[in-house]
């Protein structure tokens, strides 16, 4: 499976705030985020349910991954996607380990270690 996915009975706005805070508290850097629904409303007057794409990085992980395979930069920073539909939110975290095994001829072991960490951090906030 290329990504961790979970559907929860929470709104994306509330999850975004909780996950953002949790990641920062655990020394992850939220490099950027895009609020797709806000952008669509402001730029195109299109209304849609909340949809966030967060780019997140744990600097020691980035260093370890880049030392192992410099081309991993094609798959980092990690993404956390929150897509709300009908009062449920799908949480998606693409797995750099799968992508690096498939496209970079890498074992993916280092990426797996950090995927497990971010998945556990996010899981703690969506229960």
Q: What is the pLDDT along the chain (127 residues), one digit of tens a residue?
A: 889 999 999 999 999 999 999 999 999 999 999 999 999 999 999 999 999 999 999 999 999 999 998 999 988 899 999 999 999 999 999 998 998 888 888 898 999 999 999 999 999 998 7
CATH number of this structure's domain 3-126, picked from the four choices 3.90.1150.10, 3.10.180.10, 3.30.310.70, 3.40.50.970:
3.30.310.70
Span 97-119, pLDDT tens digits:
998 888 888 898 999 999 999 99
pTM of the model: 0.92
- Helix (H, G, I), strand (E, B), or coil: what is residue 68? helix
Map out the domains of the chain as residue ranges. 3-126
Phi, psi (degrees; rounded to nearest 5) at 86: 55, 50
Question: In terms of C-beta density within 10 A (0-12 exposed, 13-18 middle, 19 or more buried), how is residue 14 classed?
Answer: middle
Of 47, 23, 51, 19, the residue nearest 35 (C-alpha): 51
């Amino acid at each position: 499976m290329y990504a961790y996915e979970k559907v929860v009975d929470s709104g994306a706005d509330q999850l975004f705030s909780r996950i953002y805070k949790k990641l920062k508290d655990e020394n992850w850097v939220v490099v950027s985020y895009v609020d797709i629904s806000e952008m669509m409303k402001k730029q195109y007057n299109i209304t849609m349910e909340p949809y966030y794409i967060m780019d997140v990085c744990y600097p020691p992980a980035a260093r370890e991954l880049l030392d192992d395979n410099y081309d991993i930069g094609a798959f980092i920073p990690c993404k956390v996607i929150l897509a709300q539909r009908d009062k449920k939110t799908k949480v998606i975290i693409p797995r750099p380990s799968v992508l690096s095994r498939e496209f970079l001829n890498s074992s993916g072991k280092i990426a797996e270690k950090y995927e497990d960490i971010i998945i556990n951090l996010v899981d703690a906030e969506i229960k």
